Structure 1
Amino acid sequence: MTIALLISTYNWPEALERVLESVLLQTKKPDEIIIADDGSTESTKEVIDVFRLKTHIPVKHAWQEDNGFQKTKILNKALALCESEYIVQIDGDIIMSPQFIADHIRISKPHHVITGSRASLTKEFTLEFLKSKKPIDYNLLRKNSPYKMNAARIPFLTPIFATRYKTKGKHRFYSKGCNMAFWMSSLIKVNGFNEDMYEWGHEDSELVVRLLKIGEKKLFMKFSGVTYHLWHKVSSMERKSINQTILENTVASGDFRIKNGLDKYLIK
């Protein structure tokens, strides 16, 4: 199984630099890294170019002009560059624990989509962490997250919670694009992310709805695949209600394949 690490980013090179540093600390490295860049300035490209000199892992940089929050569009463009069978997705403000990729591989199964959680960091620590040039200290990350349960790695508990935690009832579509994994073949079947959803909100859950419609099952990765979320100001939620309606329509629909998606970027 070949693994791609998909990282979305927008104009926060200081954070991306630290995220990429955590890639180098992985006990199991991805086979390729694909950065989905929603219109960042040249400073983000400079961070990526410097990182390329530190690793033999192929690094692909998908970029589009800054025309507002268009995460679904740049994710699809980035996925069109993917050569791997399995995608592990994070955001450009997520510091991965050293076992993150290995934990994702361990829980992965055919015909399953995975979602995990994150341990958010405080504002004060985030600002200091980004300013510092010291190597990542995971003990400090754990200490400075108020979400201790999300920062706990207890792998033998993961299989127990995988089918029980946020996989049924009102949580059955719950997912976070900052810690998520799926099969490329399944993504092609449902035509990727729904580009009718732009600005912030629900694009990851809407994808999960469609993956479940083709027979996928969802597993929640609890007590492994630990990530730390850098503090930042809350994104605009102007379209949250509109995206919520799109999500609800997808749930009610019999269709699993959206029209405005990945296929337009794939080589014919």
Structure 2
Amino acid sequence: MVQPPFFISVIITTYNQPAWLERVLVGYNHQNFKDFEVVIADDGSSDETIKLIERYKKIVSYPIQHIWHTDEGFRKCTILNKAIIASKGNYLLLTDGDCIPRADFLEVHAKYAEKGYFLSGGMYRTTLDVAHKIQLEDISTQRCFDIDYMRSLGQPRRFFKDLKLSLKYPKLKNFLNSITPANASWNGHNSSGWKEDIVKINGFNEKMKYGGLDRELGERLFNLGIKSKQIRYSAICVHLEHKRGYVTAENWKNNYAIRKKTRREKLQWIEEGISTHL
């Protein structure tokens, strides 16, 4: 258990998905843990998203920072680095604007936060059809985290993935966290760590486009000597499925080469990162 002072900056990436972002902001308004801010890392969204954020600043109980830059193509790493600079917390949780947090989401991250570690959480991915059926009331009542309710919306059965929503016993969650074959990597949808560690490695590598950019940051944290904890079955968010028009084979190839170099040379610091904006 961490000791105060402990303040979380939740950094949420978004790009022209205001309907999904609204559901996420509502999710954070129902958190058990209250010592946090939200920093929206906006990769150039249009006025519709900007107006939504301004409206929700007056609705929710937590502070919101909106970090925006012009739309010049996929520049997620750049806007994330700008958001990290703007963040006020000493602990950062990074997630996406299509991931609705369960009420205990921040509480779990705060519980397991420990110096020398980052946390690797999980998600429950909906189908595209079910994503459109989830309403704001489903979030405020937490129905969208009930497996039977999700099934009534048309979500198919997927046994181990369903356990993320259906499990009620902490010991069983911890057991599954310990035996899952999934790596405890830095995942863009649900990971957290100390700001000072992320700053030490200069944040995200701005040479990277879509495809493994989050894991590359985690690999440099490993090279720094930071370890990871698996909380895949404990810290849960519902991922609203959507189309991805920004995925290219060329970007995957480029990013894989960067990650391979990071691992081979045990790199901690990259040049095109946070320091570019200071």
Q: What TM-score do you get using the length of structure 1 for normalisation?
A: 0.90
2:266 matched to which residue of 1? 254
Of 154-163 and 100-109, more deviation after overlay is shown by 154-163
2:3 matched to which residue of 1? none
- Deviation, structure 1 residue 233: 1.1
1:62 matched to which residue of 2? 67
> For residues 133 and 102 of structure 1, what CA distance do their matches in structure 2 show?
21
1:237 matched to which residue of 2? 247
2:146 is equivalent to residue 139 of structure 1: no
CA RMSD of aligned residues (A): 1.9
Aligned-residue sequence identity (percent) comes to: 29
- Deviation, structure 1 residue 115: 1.0
> For residues 113 and 235 of structure 1, what CA distance do their matches in structure 2 show?
30
Give CA deviations for 1:212-255 in whole Å, capped at 9, x if unaligned: 11110011113211110001113433111211111111000132
For structure 2, the residue ranges without an aligned partner over 5 or more in a row are 1-5
SS in 2 for 1:73: helix
SS in 2 for 1:195: coil
> For residues 110 and 256 of structure 2, what CA distance do their matches in structure 1 show?
31
1:183 to 174, 187, 194: 194
Sort the Cα spacing of 1:11 and 1:165 in 2 relative to 1 into closer, same or farther, 3 A. same
Q: Is the 8 A contact 1:119 1:227 kept in 2?
A: yes
> For residues 257 and 152 of structure 1, what CA distance do their matches in structure 2 show?
41
> For residues 113 and 140 of structure 1, what CA distance do their matches in structure 2 show?
27
> For residues 208 and 35 of structure 2, what CA distance do their matches in structure 1 show?
29
- Deviation, structure 1 residue 156: 2.6
Give CA deviations for 1:84-143 in whole Å, capped at 9, x if unaligned: 1101111000011110000111111111011111101122221222xx453424334532
Q: Is the 8 A contact 1:9 1:16 kept in 2?
A: yes
Q: Is the 8 A contact 2:118 2:193 kept in 1?
A: yes
2:48 matched to which residue of 1? 43
Q: Is the 8 A contact 2:26 2:136 kept in 1?
A: no
Give CA deviations for 1:139-161 in whole Å, capped at 9, x if unaligned: 34532444302324443344445
- Deviation, structure 1 residue 264: 2.3
1:103 matched to which residue of 2? 108
Q: Is the 8 A contact 1:32 1:59 kept in 2?
A: yes
Sort the Cα spacing of 1:252 and 1:152 in 2 relative to 1 into closer, same or farther, 3 A. farther
2:165 to 151, 155, 170: 151
SS in 1 for 2:137: coil
Q: What TM-score do you get using the length of structure 2 for normalisation?
A: 0.87
1:25 matched to which residue of 2? 30
1:80 matched to which residue of 2? 85
Q: Is the 8 A contact 1:163 1:218 kept in 2?
A: no
2:268 is equivalent to residue 263 of structure 1: no
1:217 to 203, 227, 246: 227
**Counterpart of 1:134 in structure 2: which amino acid?**
E
Q: Is the 8 A contact 1:23 1:29 kept in 2?
A: no
Q: Is the 8 A contact 1:30 1:101 kept in 2?
A: no
2:20 to 15, 28, 31: 15
Give CA deviations for 1:42-70 in whole Å, capped at 9, x if unaligned: 11111111111123422111001111111
Report the number of matched residues.
259
For structure 1, the residue ranges without an aligned partner over 5 or more in a row are none
